[in-house]
Structure 1
Amino acid sequence: MIKKTLGAMAALSLFAAPTAAFAQDDEEVVARPSVFSPINYDATEDVEDVWVLDLSNGERVKVRLMPEWAPNHVERIKTLTRLGFYDGIIFHRVIDGFMAQGGDPTGTGQGGSELPDLKAEFNPMPHVRGSLAMARATEEDSANSQFFIVFYPRFSLDKRYTNFGRVIENMAGVDSINRGEPPQEPTRILQASLASDNKAPPVAPSAPATADTPVTADMLSAPIQQ
């Protein structure tokens, strides 16, 4: 199983164990506009490449997957989605002003799928607001199932993490994901689907979503850094 987590302090360099997942951002935090650059998308033709996330906060978020940027990572997301892998999984590490990370079935940041790790598909596409990228361990070819969505531009991640999509609908729903490392009441993916499957949103649970496995500080030994 691949250990992947995201981390917090902006101008601070934290280093992780070799097996831990992180995104290290060596830039100091500077004021940048929260740009949300458009990408080409045809709602009538590209439904097979639109990832739909129904969240426990009542929001439905749509992400345009970009096989032109990273075909194997896009195929992995599609495969796991159609297996129901992401249904019920929490966002286990959510850093205000940075990103929201999910995709770990254990809810601890230490897990992944049973499929083989992916070879990196680094590309020149920038990590702007709404970018979808894959978390990985120290080794470049270690991405598996965990992903993160960027709240604000993080250009120091460019060509170091595989950027393979961007939010095209309801970025405000991503902004409303509960913060924390881990959050006290984590936001959960109730249902992940592809737009081509035309699934209706599920009924949200009445009780706040919580991780099935308690998460303690010692489990989060490998933060993604800003």
Structure 2
Amino acid sequence: MRFLLALLSLVGFGLALPAHAQIVPDQATGRAAPPATTDKENLWLLDLSTGGRVTIWLRPDVAPKMVDRIKTLTRRGFYNGLLFHRVIDGFMAQGGDPAGDGTGGSDLPDIEAEFNYLPHVRGAVSAARQGSAPGAPAEVRKAAEDSANSQFFIVFTPRLSLDKQYTVFGRVIAGMEHVDAIPRGEPPSNPARIVRAYIAADNPPAFVPSAAPTELPAGEKEVTLPGT
């Protein structure tokens, strides 16, 4: 079954909340308040083979299930060594596949849709999900929408046509130059990898350039991009 990769984007900065603070509604907007951009429990760190660390601000206020999945898999070491297997210039870099070819996912259940108001702008990080053909029955579309698992991608340039169709769960707030340096290709001839992934609250070591693992475990699901 082919899967559709979603672009997720986050805008703005969060209210100053302590780590692990309960997310509460903002009385002015009726929306849950985002965590602070300094809340280490909601900062996802990706050390890339392109030469640096990328900091992604996670948004449990709009995508709690996907954020929890990212944290769970990161703390398992799931993302360590995974490559960016599909990278389209002017669009996005896709990763999070243990098979390394677009067919993989984790052993955890798929996650239901958490589509939200955040736009697919530069630096947005979004979940992959199954695609459905135009005119597909409602139950087929619903199953596709509820099929995010482990794959994600990071947006190079805005793709607002995907807004409210995919689960945006984070945004790059530092190190975007290392994302820009990811080699392009479908697949790239010399793909970049996530050397190590961390949650900042776990007190990771400072970034040190190193070689990523060369072998990846087999996977199950294929992820594709909108319009393919």
TM above 0.5, yes or no, is yes
> For 2:39, which of 33, 46, 58 is the aligned residue?
46
Distance 1:135 1:91 in 2: 13
* 1:20 matched residue in structure 2: 2
* 1:199–1:157 Cα change, 3 Å: same
* 1:64 matched residue in structure 2: 57
* Aligned residue-pair number: 192
* 1:144 matched residue in structure 2: 149
Measured after TM superposition, the shift of residue 225 of structure 1 is 2.8
* 2:68 matched residue in structure 1: 75
- Structure 1 counterpart of 2:226, which letter? Q
* 2:93 matched residue in structure 1: 100
Listed one character per residue, the Cα deviations across residues 184-217 of structure 1 (whole Å, up to 9, x for unaligned) are 1110001000111121225412xx876759xxxx
Distance 2:58 2:114 in 1: 14
Listed one character per residue, the Cα deviations across residues 70-124 of structure 1 (whole Å, up to 9, x for unaligned) are 0000000000000000000000000000000000001010110000000010011
* 1:203–1:176 Cα change, 3 Å: closer
CA contact (8 A) 1:185 1:209 kept: no
**2:170 is the alignment partner of 1:158:** no
User: Normalized against structure 2, the TM-score is what?
Assistant: 0.76
User: Normalized against structure 1, the TM-score is what?
Assistant: 0.77
* 2:224 matched residue in structure 1: 223
> For 1:120, which of 104, 113, 129 is the aligned residue?
113
> For 1:182, which of 177, 187, 197 is the aligned residue?
187
CA contact (8 A) 2:66 2:169 kept: yes
CA contact (8 A) 2:13 2:37 kept: no
Identity fraction in percent: 55
Secondary structure of the structure 2 residue equivalent to 1:76: helix
Listed one character per residue, the Cα deviations across residues 42-65 of structure 1 (whole Å, up to 9, x for unaligned) are 578510000000011111000000
* 1:204 matched residue in structure 2: 210
CA contact (8 A) 2:48 2:195 kept: yes
Note the residue ranges of structure 2 that are not aligned, 5 or more in a row: 17-35, 132-143
Distance 1:93 1:100 in 2: 6
- Structure 2 counterpart of 1:21, which letter? F
* 1:191 matched residue in structure 2: 196
Distance 2:15 2:180 in 1: 22
* 1:88–1:209 Cα change, 3 Å: closer
- Structure 1 counterpart of 2:224, which letter? P
**2:69 is the alignment partner of 1:85:** no
Q: Alignment RMSD, CA only?
A: 2.7
* 1:180–1:39 Cα change, 3 Å: same
